[in-house]
Structures are given as structure tokens and as C-alpha cells.
Structure 1
Amino acid sequence: MAAARLRTGLRRNSLLPLFETCRLRDLHFFSSSAGSAAAVGGTISPDPHFMVEYLVNSCGFSPSEAAMFSKPLAHLRSTEKPDSVLNFMRSQGFDGAAIRKVISMKPNYLCFNVETNLAPKFQFLRYLGLSESDIVDVILMNHAILLLNVHRSFGPKLEIWESLLGSRELVLKHLRKTGRFFFSSVEKTLHPNLKFLRDECGIPEERLSLVLRSHPQLILQKPESLRALVARADELGTPRLSRMFVWTLVVLQMLSKETFEAKAELMRSFGWSESEFSSVVRKVPTFLCMSLDMMRRKMEFFINVVGYTPSFIASQPTILLYSLQKRVIPRFHVTEMLKSKGLWTGQGKFTTIIVFSDTKFMEKFVLPHKENVPELLDILRAAGTCKGNDTFHLASEDEKGLS
């Protein structure tokens, strides 16, 4: 089912009733929410620079900002349209700061016709289920929506994203939080990128859809940029059919080549070979998401304190993904204290202990000894991972995960 949706790209009929409702009620919406704006006659001035003063007095821009943003408005000789736009935006919940942000992104919005250009977009967003504050957030993150025709562009983009992400709720979530979400062209960007990843790279549609739910920006980039990204992943030796391939693309998109090389150089300084570094990236690409400082601290701890060799760490790279302060260090101190008191032989591998669930770690290493060795709980409390006597709080990782 998901594959069929992704192949077609658009579910053409799902929003048609909504479109028709919007068409029928555009005039009513405008007259009820922006009628006062339309009635404003505006001020007429022969001075071609009068918009500078207008932007200062009406929007709160500084004189230097107003001078810059007034250039695309130099043709205006009346404030009728700007007055109408500003009144409409205020009626839709935009405060002064939000209005300044929108106008600074594209001053020509002040030349728009409220009834034909702006009101239909706001009405459509309302019909999608967004609140007034949600709509403000959406516009601030994706102001290009104001440039789109509701029926010819906005609707089709909404439909293709709904088919890709699997639900309208996810689409609306990204609209509120993801900048430039609706900037990319369906014909020039989205469809070519999807076809390339699916047909040339061989990425299954279900896997691609799963990744796009959390990282839609992967297909928002220019097709040539995506191809360059795939070439970088190929250089690392990541098989295109591997489940990690698409995650590698997501990670590499976040990193400049300079940052990537700085991280590679850091790991070389610890003794990793080029092949070891590439192997780790192929296995756990999210390893590259941590900062240089965190990479250094984790490697130093595992080498200098735990006693692992760099090559061993490269063979067990998942240990680098866990929180150093909230998981690795306190668990190491717990096991070392048990060994010092003769309560644990140390036969279990620490690499395995790191990945134990919190419950299993508590049951195996802490709770059986909490009466005789209360210090164990103190270690966990100091790390901020233990609350009360028997509850082990799930620690968040030092870096953001991708799944």
C-alpha cells in the first residue's frame, strides 16, 4: 500500500472536496476576517521614498532596515495595499515581530491582494486543522506558502507529502517545525529525487518513506546535490542495498566535507586506519553526529580508563553511541566497585553491559547488592540516572539519534 502511494506520488482526489469548500467560502472568509483591511483607503504620496518612513512607523523597522526593505516597494505611491496586508495579518494573530520577520523575508508581500493572494492560504490552513497560532508558526517557517496557488501548487504539494509521510498529521508537524518544507518544486526536485533514490539507488520505497518521516530534507535538496551526497556514501563503501545507506545519506547531508574530514582526522590520531573509520561509518553512521569534543572524550575514556585498544573500539562501534556521563561511566564504576569487593568476577564483557536495558542492569548489578554496597546507588544518583532506591531512569544520549 505504501509503495503504491509512493509510486503515484499524488492522491489526487483526497483534497478535492476541501478545495471546492475553499473556493465557495473564500469570499465569506475574506469579508468576515479582513473586511476592515479592504476598506482602508491608504495614504497617497508623490515621494518615492515615503515607504521607508511607512515601514518604520507601521511595522517597527529601524531606519536602516526600512531603507533596505523598501527597495522592492519603490513603485508604490499609496499605502492602500500595505495597510490592507498589515491589518489582515494582525487579524490572523501576527504580532509586530512576526510581521517584521515575514516582510523582511519578502517585502513584496506588502503588495499582495489580501482577498485573492492571502486569505485563501489562511483559510486552507484552517481547514487542515491548524489553529491560529499554528498558522503563524507555519508561515514563519515556510513563508513560501504565501506565494503558492492553493489549488495548483499548495494542494498538490500537500498531497505528495501526505503520501510520502503516511499521514497529514506528520505533514502539519513538519510545516510547523521544518523550514523550506514547501519551497521545493514537485516536478524539478521531489519527483526526480524520489526516482533517483528508488530506481537508481535501489532503496525500497517503504525504507525511504520511513526515513523521510523524520528527515524530509533529504529530498528537498537539489538533484545534483543529492547525487553528490550519494557519491560520498559510495566512497565510504556503504552498499546501496544496505539498510544503513539511506541513514548515511541523512548524516552526510548534515556534515560539511570539512567537518567530516576533521572527524576522520581525529579518529586517525587515535590510531584508526582509513578502513576502520569507513567501516564504523558504514555500521553506525550516526556516530558522525556527535561533536568532535564528545568523540575525543569517549575515545579517551575507553582507551585510558577501560583499557580498550582503538582497533577493538572500531570493531564494537555501537559503544560510542551511548551517553558517556549517564550510562558508560556510572556502569563502569559500578562494575569496578563490585570487582573490588569480590562480588563480581568481571567475566562479563563491558561492551555487553553497556547495552543492557536499564532494568536488566539494575536487576543484575545493583539491586542484589544495594544493602551491602549502598554506594552503587550513590554512583547512579550522582550521574543523574537513578531516582529513588529501585528506579533506574532511562538516560538520554549525548547526541541526537536518527531513528
Structure 2
Amino acid sequence: MAAATLRSVLRRNRLLPLFETCHLRDRLFFSSSVDAAAVTAGGTMSPDPHFMVEYLVNSCGFSPSEAVKFSIPLALLRSTEKPDAVLNFMRSQGFDGAAIRKIISLKPTYLCYNVETNLAPKFQFLRDLGLSELDIVDVILKNNGILHYNVHRSFVPKLEMWESLLGSRELVLKHLKKTGWLFFSSVEKTLHPNLKFLRDECGIPEERLSVVLRSRPQLITNKPKSLRALVARADELGMPRQSRMFVWTLDVLQMLRKERFEAKFELMRSFGWSESEFSSAVRKAPTFLRMSLDMMRRKMEFFINAVGYTPSLIASQPTILLYSLQKRVIPRFHVTEMLKSKGLWTGQCKFAWILIMSETKFMEKFVLPHKENVPELLDIMRVAGACKRNDTLHLASEDEKGLN
């Protein structure tokens, strides 16, 4: 029944003639002694040209149609010796069936690798870095190219380069565990040229660049041509290259397609910002552009309609747009308004300064002294605290959605 299903899939995918042709060619050009050597070397030998399709179904759990697709790069295999060894090794390293299927689907020829000379040294290298078995599984699922790299010619130079840029091995491993691109960039063709361009031509001190790269290392992985285009965009905004905000501007621009940038400019212009005010706001607080259009609109409307700020005032103090609306701006505004309505606060302190205050200082100055007379203040802050805890559980706040 299974064989009939596989044959049906092969016909449907028009691969049966190809396999039959390959089989005929193999019978004509490969001697029986070669076939015998393959069998005695280990594994199983099958005269059936579809044996790798069946193998991928039975040994890996792929569907017949998936097996047909992934068997094509394996057409030259005549034995299951190496695939058996690879699968057994991966399972011994903590990979479950789903993880193994993902790795094979990304590059089926991993099944042709030699375990002792190719795979085992890379796993040992990752263990020597201090990664646990679970960490190694996660790292390889995100960076499967590690299995392809030569440890000493490729992996070690990249590791040393990133350690130098980020300042510690711990930060390198942290990014390695959560990203899938950290070790794809060439040191010679990408990392070194970009670093030299930013340092020598743009005049950015390496220590300043390092501060940004510790949290946003993908900036340095752009193609050199793309990085130069980002610098040109920052120059158009009038951002001085000597400014500490210059590198952060590059980081924001790399995440922001030009059409989205234009859409955010048009939105702020609809609130009354001039082009010069928009450019000035970006120079002062470039990260406000990471907000979604919806959140940007909601914050502007609240500051204008509730707080009473003019658009020009917001443009001159764009850092107020960086604070969470639900967790900071609205709760603190409600607290101060309630105190003013009860005659417990004169309102002389500007609201922008109130937003800057730490949570502890705000509680000490505006909430705790009035908790007996105005217990509602504590309720307001509890709701804000619940929002923070909820955001932590979901690993992303509302203000960070839709950055592009």
C-alpha cells in the first residue's frame, strides 16, 4: 500500500521517468563491484530507484509528497549508511523528529555528511563555547548554516569578530541563540568593510558603534552598498554624523522601508508638523519612528486632545512619544488630573517632566502621599502595573508592534 502511494506521488510529480532513467543509467555505467562495495560498506542497498523517497517517509516522517521533493538532491545516494549515521547522531544530540525534519527540509544533503569529520566537531565546538544541549538544538535550528561552515576557517573568525564588536562572549551567545542571521555575514566582504566605512568615512567611534550593536547587531550585517544608502538617507534628514543619535538613526532606517517612512511623515504632517519639524524630531529621537502608524496616531491625539499640547510643542519634545501610552502616559495623566481636581496639586510641574520621572519617584511624589485621601490613585497604578506584567508575559508591548 505504501509503495503504491509513493509511486502515485512520483507519477503526480512527474518524477518517475527521471528516477527510472537514472536507474537505467546506473545499471549501464556502474559496475556490480561498485554496488557490492556500497553494500559491504554498511547500510542497506536497494535496486529500487525510489528507495530514498521511502526512506524519508519511514525514517524521518515526511509525507510522500515532501519525501519526493527532498529526495531529489539525494538522487546519487545508493546506500542509507550516511543518512542512518546522521539521523542517529542528530537524535543522540537531542533533536526530535520535528527538528530533524526541519533541518533536512532546509538542506537535504545534510544526510550525506560524514558524522565524524563534519558534524561531530561542530557540535563539540558549540559545547566548548558553553552552550547546553538544548541551546545547541535551538542555535542550529535558527542557524542551520553552522552545519555547513568550516569551524576554523569560517566560524571562529566570525565569533572573534562579533566578540570584539559586542564586547563579550555572553552577548554573542545570547544573539546566536535568538537570531538566524548572526553568522551568515562574511567577515571579509561585509563586516570588515562596514566597520571601516562607519569608523573611517563616517567618523563614528568604535565604542559608540558597539553600544548600538549590543542590542541591534544586524546593522553591521547589511550589504556595504545598502549601508551606504542608509547613511545617505540619514544625511538627507540633516542628522550630523558626529551626533550620538546618528547610529540609532541608521538602525531605525534599516527597519523602515521608504514607503513606511513616507507614510509616517504624511501622518505627522496631517497633525500640522512641517517637514523641518519632522526632520528635527527624527534627529532628536529617531526611535519614535519604530512605532506603528496606529500607535503614533493615538499618541498624537492623546497629547493634543487630552494633555493640550500643540503639535509644534510635541515636535520640539519628541521623546514624550517614546513612552508607553497605556503603561505610563495615560496613568500618570489621570493621577495628576485627579490631584488637580481635588486641589492637592497645583500643576506647576510640566507633564513632560512627570513622564521622565522613574516609577519609584513618581509614586513617592504623586501617589503615596495621597493614598489615604485618594485611594483611587493606587487603583490607577495597579492597572498600569498589570499592563506591564501582561506585556512581559507576551514578550512584546503594544507600542512595539508594526515597526515596519
TM-score by length of 1: 0.84
2:343 alignment partner, SS class:
coil
For residues 21-40 of structure 1, the aligned pairs below 5 Å read none
Report the equivalent of 1:399.
399
Per-residue displacement from partner, 1:280-339 (whole Å, max 9, x unpaired)?
A: 111111101111111111111111111111111111111111111121111111111111
1:383 alignment partner, SS class:
helix
Contact 1:40/1:84, CA 8 A, preserved across alignment? no
Structure 2: tracts of 5 or more residues without a match? 1-39, 389-395
Q: Are 1:279 and 2:277 matched, yes or no?
A: no
Contact 1:69/1:107, CA 8 A, preserved across alignment? yes
Separation in structure 2 between the aligned mates of residue 104 and residue 212 of structure 1, nearest angstrom: 32
Contact 1:322/1:397, CA 8 A, preserved across alignment? no
Report the equivalent of 1:327.
328
Report the equivalent of 1:137.
138
1:238 alignment partner, SS class:
coil
2:303 alignment partner, SS class:
helix
Contact 1:244/1:285, CA 8 A, preserved across alignment? yes
1:154 alignment partner, SS class:
helix
Report the equivalent of 2:193.
192
Separation in structure 1 between the aligned mates of residue 340 and residue 383 of structure 2, nearest angstrom: 20
Report the equivalent of 1:336.
337
Per-residue displacement from partner, 1:47-93 (whole Å, max 9, x unpaired)?
A: 43332222121111222222222221112122111111111111111
Separation in structure 2 between the aligned mates of residue 72 and residue 334 of structure 1, nearest angstrom: 65
The code of the aligned residue for 2:233 comes to R
Contact 1:198/1:205, CA 8 A, preserved across alignment? yes
2:344 alignment partner, SS class:
coil
- Give the structure, 1 or 2, with the largest relative contact order (CA under 8 Å, sep 6 or more): 1
The code of the aligned residue for 2:315 comes to A
Separation in structure 2 between the aligned mates of residue 189 and residue 386 of structure 1, nearest angstrom: 41
Report the equivalent of 1:305.
306
For residues 4-403 of structure 1, the aligned pairs below 5 Å read 41-384=42-385, 398-400=398-400
Report the equivalent of 2:20.
none
The code of the aligned residue for 1:243 comes to R
Separation in structure 2 between the aligned mates of residue 103 and residue 385 of structure 1, nearest angstrom: 43
Report the equivalent of 1:30.
none
Contact 1:322/1:328, CA 8 A, preserved across alignment? yes
Contact 1:102/1:143, CA 8 A, preserved across alignment? yes
Separation in structure 2 between the aligned mates of residue 47 and residue 231 of structure 1, nearest angstrom: 60
Separation in structure 1 between the aligned mates of residue 144 and residue 76 of structure 2, nearest angstrom: 23
Separation in structure 2 between the aligned mates of residue 47 and residue 139 of structure 1, nearest angstrom: 33
State which drifts further: 60-69 or 99-108: 60-69
1:78 alignment partner, SS class:
coil
The code of the aligned residue for 1:142 comes to N
Separation in structure 2 between the aligned mates of residue 292 and residue 244 of structure 1, nearest angstrom: 22
Separation in structure 2 between the aligned mates of residue 337 and residue 278 of structure 1, nearest angstrom: 36
State which drifts further: 336-345 or 199-208: 336-345
Shift of 1:261: 1.8
Contact 1:192/1:223, CA 8 A, preserved across alignment? yes
User: Kindly, what percent of the aligned residue pairs are identical?
Assistant: 84
Q: Higher helix proportion, which one?
A: 2
Separation in structure 1 between the aligned mates of residue 382 and residue 129 of structure 2, nearest angstrom: 46
Shift of 1:400: 4.9
1:399 alignment partner, SS class:
helix
State which drifts further: 189-198 or 55-64: 55-64
Structure 1: tracts of 5 or more residues without a match? 1-38, 388-395
Per-residue displacement from partner, 1:324-372 (whole Å, max 9, x unpaired)?
A: 1121111111111111112222222111111112222222222222222
Separation in structure 1 between the aligned mates of residue 64 and residue 265 of structure 2, nearest angstrom: 48
Report the equivalent of 1:34.
none
2:399 alignment partner, SS class:
coil
